[in-house]
Amino acid sequence: MPILPVDTGRYGTGEMLKLFEEETRVQKMLDVEAALAWAHAEVGNIPRKDAEVIVTMASLKHVKLSRVKEIEREIKHDVASLVRACAEACGPSGAYVHLGATSYDIVDTANALQFKDALNLIERKLNDLEKILMEKALRYKDTLMMGRTHGQHALPITLGFKFAVWTREVSRHIQRLRQCRERVVVGKMSGAVGTQAGFGVNAAKIQELVMRRLGVKAADISTQIVQRDRYAEFVCLMAMIASSLDNFASEIRELQRPEIGELAEAFEVEKQVGSSTMPHKRNPETCERICGLARIVRSLTVPALENVPTWGERDLTQSSAERFILPEACILADYMLFLMSNIVANLRVDEQRMLKNVELTEGRGMSEAVMIALTEKGMNRQEAHELLRKLTIKSEVEKRHFRQVLIENRAITERLSKKEIDEALDPKNYLGTALKQVENIVRKTGKERHARGLG
């Protein structure tokens, strides 16, 4: 009976969940056993006909999961149970199953196969999100809104600029993932302590052949296990991706507040329910789900990092933790990317509310622009800053528009005409290189996507 929400189907995409199903995991371990038998035959260690039997029978069609579990209940060892069940299915040829190998030759190489598939799925979703953000950056390149720092109005930006910033954050994760893949997707045939003694004189060739057949790299050197700094890097990358999605989702949540009302998740008005008791509610619940799941993914970095230390050439402290953290990191990161792509693609944008919010501070948000205008007319920058600091306070306390306060001040009007003051107070005139930056980012990202083989 399913217990965890991943098992009940509440979280996770079908393709990633399938990748980590028990049947898939066992089949990948059988694939490793088949590759090992084939490699032994290639170097002449075992008869080719026996290797062919093992390759044919190393399948869940012949090695039943129920039989593996039955044996495990008796001998209390999961990999040995798989080996025995496979050997049974192979008949006399079963004598050569698992020859020279230790359990984690099979487990870690199967891990590499799962990582390979999982990273492909996650990269695809990162590519999808990157593309959506690029499109939004261009679409809203000129859409004026107030930039905020410390939760307060700062200076004007555009919505497209915000999306361009997010685009490059996703782009960096794609770069990290592609680099990480080289270190994480590695298997091994190194034996009980890493010396490959059980594989005989052709040990190095056997490892090379196994990995070539399976399509993964061989670890350059290992003990009984692939060293867990590799896995820690992988889980930390998933946590970084989750944290970026948390960042995007948190911003959308904040801008969906009725007091701000600039962005909002799509809401299915015909059917969707926001609250069990308050009919008016339209909550950013998908963004909140992303923020909550990001906490879980970040928490997985602790056991991943604690798995790096091991006694001697290995102990079993990694095993139990990895049964949780590796599937969860992949399933949740992949699911969160799926959710975020849908959120951004269908985001509701209220451009009029953005313009209205720009005026909330009655022009005071343009104080830096006025300060720069004054310095261009010869006023000392520090003096200009102090003067405008006092005038913004005066405007706020007296509840008068900043323009009125400015044109009443002689130090201002001696240097700036009313036209120049109005120009300085127009947020459209103080976007700096924002629009150009958006164009450059989209162009740069497009070139990177082309180099990755994407349109």
Catalytic residue among 77, 93, 98, 150: 150
3-state secondary structure of 139: helix
Answer whether 97's CB lies under 8 Å from 180's CB. Answer: no
Report the distance separating Cα 98 and Cα 21, nearest Å.
23
3-state secondary structure of 67: helix
Q: What does the radius of gyration of the chain's CA atoms come to, in whole angstroms?
A: 30
Answer whether 425's CB lies under 8 Å from 363's CB. Answer: yes
Calculate the dihedral angle through the C-alpha atoms of 300, 301, 305, 307, rounding to the nearest 10 degrees. Answer: 20
Question: Nearest 5 degrees, angle CA 453-CA 454-CA 455?
Answer: 130
Report the distance separating Cα 441 and Cα 161, nearest Å.
9
Answer whether 59's CB lies under 8 Å from 27's CB. Answer: yes
- Would the CA dihedral through 324, 329, 330, 332 be positive or negative? positive
77 is catalytic: no
- The dihedrals phi and psi of 279, each to the nearest 5 degrees, come to -60, -25
Q: Where are the alpha helices (DSSP H) in 257-366?
A: 285-299, 301-306, 317-345, 351-358
Catalytic residue among 275, 299, 320, 417: 275
Report the distance separating Cα 368 and Cα 380, nearest Å.
14
Return the structure tokens found at 348.
Answer: 């509701």
Identify which of 455, 451, 439, 453 has the alpha carbon closest to the alpha carbon of residue 164: 439
275 is catalytic: yes
- The dihedrals phi and psi of 20, each to the nearest 5 degrees, come to -110, 10
DSSP codes, 382-428: HHHHHHHHHHHHHHHHHT--HHHHHHT-HHHHTT--HHHHHHHH-GG
Strands, E assignment, 140-182? 144-149, 152-158
Residues known to be catalytic: 150, 275
